[in-house]
């Protein structure tokens, strides 16, 4: 049986990334294209995007750097500019990508354990990240780890008061009232 063409594999990867919202599957598909053709311009670019959207910006970084060199070599000014802008945003995108990956795991894939791992990564870099604290507490609750979630809900309650976030205050108070002391 013949190998699928690069074009067919690219289309599958693009569908995973932009239609199915499955960046890990898309990344795997773009890697297959790059195995057959290591200099495939589109697969390199899309792999970098898929890795970012998978919450793996550190893994995406060398792919973005390779993309920049390639775009500069062929004088593709629009892509060169876009990649330079992306590389300048490495730190903020790192947290944003990890948060998005965690949210996808928690709400779309209903995988609170893996979601918790993503939110823990954000909190390791930024211990006062409001959203990551809230989402980690939610993930732990959904994993059946309410006692472990309790101190996080207490932090969420304090943060919500600072931000005057009444909805989150109510959510945290309700969670604290239903978990054991």
* 75-92 per-position pLDDT tens digit: 999 999 999 998 887 766
Do 107 and 82 share a structural domain? no
Alpha-helical (H) ranges within 104-165 are: 112-125, 130-142, 146-163
Give the per-residue SS3 of 134-149. Answer: HHHHHHHHHCCCHHHH
Predicted confidence at residue 89, as pLDDT, reads 78
Is 107 found in the same domain as 152?
yes
Residues 75 and 123 in one domain: no
Residue ranges making up the domain that contains 134: 92-178
CA 69 to CA 80: how far, in whole Å? Answer: 8
User: Tell me, what's the pLDDT at 111?
Assistant: 95
pLDDT of residue 2: 60
Q: What percent of the chain has pLDDT over 70?
A: 94
Among 70, 88, 106, where does a domain finish? Answer: 88
What was the pLDDT predicted at 93? Answer: 62
Domain count, the chain: 2
- Give the CATH number of the domain where residue 101 resides: 1.25.40.10
* Distance from C-alpha of 132 to C-alpha of 12, rounded to nearest angstrom: 32
Low-confidence ranges of the chain (pLDDT < 70): 1-3, 91-93, 179-181
DSSP per residue over 51-63, as a string? Answer: HHHTT-HHHHHHH
């Amino acid at each position: 049986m013949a190998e699928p063409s690069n074009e067919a594999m690219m289309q599958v990867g693009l569908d995973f990334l932009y239609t199915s919202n499955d960046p890990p599957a898309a990344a795997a598909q773009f890697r297959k294209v790059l195995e057959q053709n290591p200099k495939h311009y589109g697969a390199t670019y899309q792999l970098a995007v898929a890795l970012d959207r998978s919450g793996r910006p550190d893994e995406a970084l060398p792919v973005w750097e390779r993309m920049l060199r390639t775009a500069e070599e062929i004088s593709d000014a629009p892509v060169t500019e876009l990649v330079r802008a992306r590389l300048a945003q490495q730190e903020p995108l790192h947290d944003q990508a990890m948060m998005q990956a965690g949210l996808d795991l928690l709400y779309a894939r209903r995988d609170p354990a893996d979601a918790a791992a993503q939110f823990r990564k954000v909190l390791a870099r930024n211990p006062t990240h409001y959203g990551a604290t809230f989402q980690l507490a939610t993930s732990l609750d959904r994993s059946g780890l309410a006692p472990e979630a309790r101190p996080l809900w207490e932090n969420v309650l304090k943060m919500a008061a600072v931000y005057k976030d009444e909805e989150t205050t109510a959510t945290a108070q309700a969670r604290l009232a239903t978990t054991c002391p």
